[in-house]
Amino acid sequence: MALTLTKNQSISLEKTAGSGLSNISLGLGWDPVKATGFFGKLMGGGAIDLDASCIVLDDQLQSIDLVWFRQLKSKDGSIQHSGDNRTGEGDGDDESISVDLKSLPAAAKHLVFTVNSFTGQNFEKVENAYCRILNRSNNTELARFNLSEKGQHTGIVMGCLSRDSSGWQFKAIGQVTNGRTADDLVNLAMQAVRG
């Protein structure tokens, strides 16, 4: 059964999966807030273009790769993005990032997952947002982090997957920020891992 994480909570993905973990995916889902009333509908609720990204850091917390809607694959091919969803419509994950843990280069120590609003709409206009980690070998959900914090922010550092001597640890971060692209969130991602 999947664990629902709170801010700053960490889990060992190997222990949660129960065996050697080789392939995971991070799924991101959200819905645009439904417009209510005549003026609400007139002003529009509508589509929200949130973007999931993965910032790859080395042991010195320097960015060595970035997977996002403008680069759907890591340089070595071990991380792949599902593609850009510009609306948030429909059930299930709206965007996902798959990671082949065994093929990651040794220099990759931290994978920081972020979400940002490319169109600049803030998170007051988003509901039911979550991220979840799946074991791709058997398609089971290992952990879920609900992003319930509403506000004027346009970005969130969701969580970090870090490699240590005992395997892969996932930490739910939930640090809100502002930024339209993953490039805007790199420095905050470094601080979140350090912090």
pLDDT at 127: 84
Global pTM? 0.86
Residues forming beta bridges with residue 71, ordered by sequence position: 68
In angstroms, the CA 146 to CA 126 distance is: 12
pLDDT at 42: 47
Phi, psi (deg, nearest 5) at residue 10: -120, 150
Residue 2 contacts by C-beta under 8 Å, 6 or more apart in sequence?
A: 132, 140, 141, 142, 143, 144
Residue 127 contacts by C-beta under 8 Å, 6 or more apart in sequence?
A: 30, 31, 32, 33
In angstroms, the CA 139 to CA 134 distance is: 6
pLDDT at 102: 92
pLDDT at 43: 47
pLDDT means over runs of 10, the chain (195 residues) = 80 77 88 65 60 94 93 96 70 88 95 88 85 90 84 88 88 86 84 83
Question: Structural domain boundaries of the chain?
Answer: 3-194
For the domain made up of 3-194, the CATH class stated in words is mainly beta
Judge contact between 95 and 52, C-beta under 8 A: yes
The β-bridge relationship of strands 126-135 and 110-117 is unpaired
Task: Count CA atoms closer than 13 A to 32's CA, side-chain side.
Answer: 21
Nearest CA-CA partner of 57 in 129, 116, 105: 105
